[in-house]
A and B are shown apart, each in its own frame.
Chain A
Amino acid sequence: MGLFMILFTLIGGITLSAQSSINGTLSQKAGTIETTFLTFLTGTMFLTIFILFFGSGNVLALFEAPKWQLSAAFLGTMYLLLTVMAVPKIGVIAANIAGIAGQLIIGVVIDHFGWFNSMVITLDVRRAFALLFMMIALYFIYRGNKRSVKESTVQQV
């Protein structure tokens, strides 16, 4: 079950990267806020139909859910806002890599302490090494992208 979940989540990551390319193309002409709004709007429309036919949960239970759980919706907006602030100052690649580092570190910390009722997975040596390898990967992506950018500007000249 765990392995299946990991594969499912990998697909989630794949669709996310396709989404950012598509949204990048759209936002050049429509604008950032406009594109994000359209993303949420079409997502809502799709899910409305999907829930009506296949929903097994209870949407109305939203009104009884603890408010701190509902506040997660603002975190996604906060991500967008902070990224938009950081990109012009440090560049897209650096902003993305710093963002991913934050995501990984906090992800492991949440597991370690079992925050938000999540399952407790302690930060052992294996996990620390996994984090280290992710950081190495990020470093190589940074280097690789810098080289691609340099090569493409040389070609343009």
Chain B
Amino acid sequence: MRFIFYVLALLAGAALSFEGAIYAELGKSIGQIETSFYNFFMGAIIMGLLLIFFRKGKISYAFEAPRWTLLGGVLGVVYLTSIVVSVPFVGVGITMVAVIIGQLVMSMVIEHFGWLGSKRTGINKEKVFAVVSMVIALILIN
């Protein structure tokens, strides 16, 4: 049965690539920043509905939390806008490879130093091999 959950995770990733390709098209007609705005606006509505019906946590914690933990939205804007801008120029494949490399390498750095409240996990030989393979992939795909 575990197999099904691997398929679900694969589909989750596939959804992101579809999203990138479709938003690139929307960006051409209404503008790139406007497309980002639409994504966040719709996302807030969808999550707002889910929040009303399925809430489990504590939304008021936002007013007590350390301020830097609230910066996620602004960072997400940079990510989404970079995809909408980049896809029409270089295609979905290269865009996704570049995003994933940025993401994986930065995660390693963040975890190595235990930044941003993450648990400290050191960089090891395997992770260095992984970065080398990713750079080779980026050179080949470009």
A1 contact set on B, CB distance < 8 A? 89
| Whole-angstrom CA separation of A28 from B12 in the bound complex | 22
Interface hits, B88-107 → A, CB 8 Å: 88-107
Are A22 and B38 in touch, CB under 8 angstroms? Answer: no
Are A140 and B93 in touch, CB under 8 angstroms? Answer: no
Give the interface centre of A86, A106, A117 by most chain B CB atoms within 10 Å: A106
CB-CB contacts of A93-107 with B at 8 A, as 1s and 0s?
A: 011101111111111
With A33-B57, A41-B48, A106-B14 known, 14 other A-B pairs at CB within 8 A are A16-B79, A25-B118, A26-B61, A33-B47, A34-B51, A47-B41, A68-B22, A76-B15, A77-B43, A95-B9, A106-B18, A110-B17, A111-B93, A131-B141
Are A69 and B25 in touch, CB under 8 angstroms? Answer: yes
Judged by DSSP, the binding face of A is helix
Give the interface centre of B44, B70, B75 by most chain A CB atoms within 10 Å: B75
- With beta carbons under 8 angstroms apart, the residue of A42, A89, A132, A137 that contacts B5 is A89
| Whole-angstrom CA separation of A2 from B125 in the bound complex | 32
Are B61 and A29 in touch, CB under 8 angstroms? Answer: yes
Nearest 7 CB-CB pairs, A to B?
Answer: A31-B57, A57-B31, A13-B102, A102-B13, A12-B82, A42-B73, A144-B126
B79 contact set on A, CB distance < 8 A? 12-13, 15-16, 19
Given the contacts A51-B34, A137-B134, A6 and B98 also touching, CB distance less than 8 Å = yes
Interface hits, B52-91 → A, CB 8 Å: 54-59, 61-62, 65, 68-83, 85-91
A74 contact set on B, CB distance < 8 A? 46
| Whole-angstrom CA separation of A46 from B122 in the bound complex | 35
Smallest CB–CB gap between B129 and chain A, Å?
4
> Which residues of A are interface residues toward B (Cβ below 8 A)?
1-3, 5-6, 8-27, 29-48, 50-51, 54-59, 61-62, 65, 68-79, 82-83, 85-86, 89-90, 94-96, 98-108, 110-111, 115-119, 121, 126-127, 129-134, 136-141, 143-145, 147-149, 151-152
| Whole-angstrom CA separation of A138 from B133 in the bound complex | 9
- With beta carbons under 8 angstroms apart, the residue of B33, B94, B133 that contacts A57 is B33
Q: Closest B-chain residue to A73, C-beta based?
A: B42
Given the contacts A2-B142, A38-B70, A118-B21, A59 and B30 also touching, CB distance less than 8 Å = yes
Are B96 and A107 in touch, CB under 8 angstroms? Answer: yes
| Whole-angstrom CA separation of A151 from B111 in the bound complex | 14
Are A6 and B39 in touch, CB under 8 angstroms? Answer: no
Are A5 and B85 in touch, CB under 8 angstroms? Answer: yes
Given the contacts A103-B16, A116-B24, A111 and B92 also touching, CB distance less than 8 Å = yes
Smallest CB–CB gap between A99 and chain B, Å?
4
